[in-house]
A = this chain, B = another copy of it.
Amino acid sequence: MQPSGEFDLIARHFRRPPRRAIVGIGDDCAVLQPSPGCRLAISTDMLVAGRHFFPDADPHWLGHKALAVNLSDLAACGARPLAFTLALALPQADDAWLAPFARGLFALADAHDCELIGGDTTRGPLNICITVMGEVPGPGQHGGALLRSGARPGDDLYVSGTLGDARLALDALQGRLSLPPEQLARARQRLDAPTPRVALGQALQGLASAAIDLSDGLLGDVQHLLDASGVGADVHADAALSLLAHGRQPGDAALPRPTLLACVLSGGDDYELAFTAPPSLRDAVQVAALRSATPVTRIGSIAARPGLQLLDAQGRVLTDRFPSFDHFA
């Protein structure tokens, strides 16, 4: 009997010789051995056409993004990427789509030495589900995984990189606002090809008291970190606004402040890290940022009272609500 279409398809686009894995694609299970003393960090994300990406999205960048959002979860835990599985539902077996998808996926995977070890393909409405595995040092070294639950009153609150571009691009592509072509291209790159902050996450091992990745919007995701830690926070609106990539380039559109504030505070799809660290480690945090070539900005501090307060330049509490993106809203 000849291998049938499904198996051909998998082999042609996704099968490569195992590197670190003991058993890779092609058996009932993959077999993986974490480094001695290390624990395994695991996360899964499902991307659905029309919900997480445009149905006609460039398959190359879709391959990139599907892995990037998973690597971003590893980054938030300070884990070193090891391997991932890919389950893919496709309306039809389409080489012209699969070839660039696989190229985009593997380009990012190779950049992080993260190996595809298994998967499943089936016919169905386009759906991409990746489960990623990384490793974190055991409890004896550097405190293990970064968790959401370690923030303590008095800690500084930081955010990596810049925020808001992904949401600006989405709003422009869906006709809710207008951007000059060059700005749209820059913003769209953040939407289509997010950069998981893997190096920063690892550099923050032993420094950050808590961390989370920003997928659904700054305020909503930071609230999850606060909830897990049983604390509150004061966030300075001006410091948050300074995270905007928008406005840094000559020729950027003039947009109203409420639009910009909404983009930076609850835009979503940023895939930056928010994290906390004691003020005594400010220099060490900046060294970690430099080592990982990832700028970080201090935007507030952790409070003992519950709740996230957004403060204006005069220290007054702003009361606008910026809800987090909810996949069932």
Which of A163-171, A180-188, A219-227, A249-257 forms part of the interface with chain B?
A219-227
Question: Which residues of chain A from 62 to 117 have any CB-CB distance to chain B below 8 Å in the complex?
Answer: 73-74, 76-77, 79, 83, 85-89, 92-93, 117
Contact check: which of B127, B134, B144, B324 meets A125 at CB < 8 Å? B127
Q: Is B131 within 8 A of A85, CB to CB?
A: yes
Are B92's CB and A27's CB within 8 A?
no
| Cβ–Cβ contact A328 & B145, under 8 A | no
Q: Which residues of B contact A259 (CB under 8 A)?
A: none
Interface presence of A318 (CB below 8 A):
no
Chain A 140-168, CB within 8 Å of chain B: the 1/0 string? Answer: 00001101110000000000000000000
Contacts of A220 in B (CB 8 A): 1, 4
In the complex, chain B residues whose CB is within 8 Å of the CB of A41 = 29-31
Quick check: is A58 within 8 A (CB to CB) of the other chain? no
The answer on a CB contact under 8 Å between A77 and B127 is no
CB proximity of A147 to chain B, nearest CB, Å: 5
In the complex this chain forms, how many copies of it are found? 2
**How many Å lie between the Cα of A7 and that of B211 in the bound state?**
18
Q: How far does the alpha carbon of A241 sit from the alpha carbon of B228 in the complex, in Å?
A: 57
A88 to B46, CA, bound (A): 8
Task: Encode A306-329 as 1/0 by CB contact (under 8 A) with B.
Answer: 001000000000000101101111
Known contacts: A26-B228, A149-B27. The answer to whether A40 contacts B33 by CB under 8 A is yes
Closest 6 pairs between A and B when the two form their complex, measured CB to CB: A48-B124, A129-B129, A46-B87, A28-B76, A131-B131, A29-B41
A–B Cβ pairs within 8 angstroms, 10 of them:
A27-B77, A28-B77, A29-B41, A29-B43, A29-B134, A33-B40, A34-B34, A45-B87, A87-B131, A124-B127
